[in-house]
Amino acid sequence: MTPQAFGQKLRREREKKQITLDQLALRTKVAASLLRSLEAGECLRWPGGIYSRGFVRAYAEGIGMDPEHTVGLFVECYPHFAAETDPVQEPPPVEGPQTLPEKIKAAVIEFFRVTIESKR
């Protein structure tokens, strides 16, 4: 599939659902100009790797398409900058609250979390 054919497929699906690019931009938090370039098959100015795949995943979810399948098609169309694997990042170390206000805040948050969980 060519980038242009991929973009046209996305646009047809979006239009079939009667969703405008501006509405989709609000749903996905991705700029309408980036979504427009995706539909035009012109993603060469997009950021690469996980960012571009995240944009495509958000687009697909925003119009009710299967995000994993859509991202797979995107990677086929743009293999030169849509890296197939995400870099593994170690999570930042979790430190407990240090000051009294931080400890109180943590206790209040934990109280509400436990309260909400117990009501489910």
Residue 54 located in a structural domain: yes
Q: What is the token pair recorded at 73?
A: 């098609």
Domain count, the chain: 1
In order of 15, 71, 74, 91, the CA distances from 84 in angstroms are 29, 10, 10, 21
Residue 105 located in a structural domain: no
Q: DSSP letter at 30?
A: S
Confidence (pLDDT) at 95: 63
CATH code for position 25: 1.10.260.40
Predicted confidence (pLDDT) per residue in 32-48, tens digit: 999 999 999 888 778 77
Residue 119 located in a structural domain: no
Confidence (pLDDT) at 26: 92
Residue 37 located in a structural domain: yes
Confidence (pLDDT) at 90: 52
Residue 67 located in a structural domain: yes
Residue 83 located in a structural domain: no
Taking the C-alpha atoms of residue 29 and residue 62, their distance in angstroms, rounded to an integer, is 10
Predicted confidence (pLDDT) per residue in 46-71, tens digit: 877 788 888 999 999 999 999 999 99
Confidence (pLDDT) at 94: 59
Please check the confidence at residue 89 and state whether its pLDDT lies above 90.
no
Residue 103 located in a structural domain: no
In order of 52, 102, 104, the CA distances from 98 in angstroms are 38, 6, 10
Q: Give the domain range for residue 66.
A: 3-77
Residue 73 located in a structural domain: yes
Confidence (pLDDT) at 86: 47
Q: What is the mean pLDDT of the chain?
A: 83
Within 13 Å, how many C-alpha atoms sit on residue 25's CB side? Answer: 12
Which residues lie below 8 Å from residue 1, measured CB to CB, with a gap of 6+?
Answer: 9, 73, 76, 77
